[in-house]
Amino acid sequence: MTKVTMTVNGKSVSGEVEGRTLLVDFLRDAQRLTGTHVGCDTSQCGACTVHVDGLQVKSCTMFALEADGATVTTIEGIGNADGTMSALQASFQEHHGLQCGFCTPGMIMAASSLLKVNPKPTEAEIRHHLEGNICRCTGYHNIVKAIMAASGQDVSAIAAE
């Protein structure tokens, strides 16, 4: 076992991990941050997406040891400081960008990563960015709409689901 220390959602945390412990398991099991989901464990679905040092990462593809010393943000850390939802989260709610919600943490982490580098993405850019995130429920239209609306763009041209 090896000790790892990282900053998760602004708080310094540490724990003992095996070399094979995945970052997603460290977050969910050791830190009880269960908003990060495991949909496949094989890098397909994107439900486990978090930010590591500002970059979008599928946390099932990274060992906890590799995140030693890093700054990690999970879905629990994406809201406003006062505990209310971020504009992006609120937009998912308003535009029905989720149904069962299983993919939603990963979708929001991926979308927030996109909006950081591209504050006004086109529909095509959003769809391209979300290629690594799978949703079984929504058909994606409302997810795209929610992201475009969160970036202050007109969403009337996007087909309703």
**Per-residue binder mask for ligand FES (CB under 6 A), 50-89, x = binder:** --------x-x-----------------------------
Which one among 38, 52, 85, 90 touches ligand FES, defined by CB under 6 A? 38
Residue closer to ligand FES by CB (options 58, 129) is: 58
Which one among 118, 136, 139, 160 touches ligand FES, defined by CB under 6 A? 136
Residue 35 interacting with ligand FES (CB under 6 A): no
Minimum CB separation of residue 15 from ligand FES in Å reads 20
Residue 39 interacting with ligand FES (CB under 6 A): yes
Q: How far apart are CA 88 and CA 108, in angstroms?
A: 7
Spatial CB neighbours of 1, under 8 Å, sequence gap ≥ 6: 16, 17, 18
Residue 99 interacting with ligand FES (CB under 6 A): yes
Which one among 6, 45, 108, 144 touches ligand FES, defined by CB under 6 A? 45
Name residue, tokens 């799978």: 134
The overall longest dimension of the chain from CA atoms, in Å, is 54
The token pair at 65 is: 């040891």
**Cα three-residue angle 91-96-100, rounded to 5 degrees:** 120
Q: Edge-to-edge strand order for the sheet containing 2-8?
A: 11-17, 2-8, 71-73, 49-52, 55-58
Q: Which stretch binds ligand FES (CB under 6 A): 11-19, 33-41, 76-84, 152-160?
A: 33-41
**Cα three-residue angle 59-62-68, rounded to 5 degrees:** 105
Interface residues toward ligand FES, by CB under 6 A: 38-41, 43-48, 58, 60, 98-104, 135-138
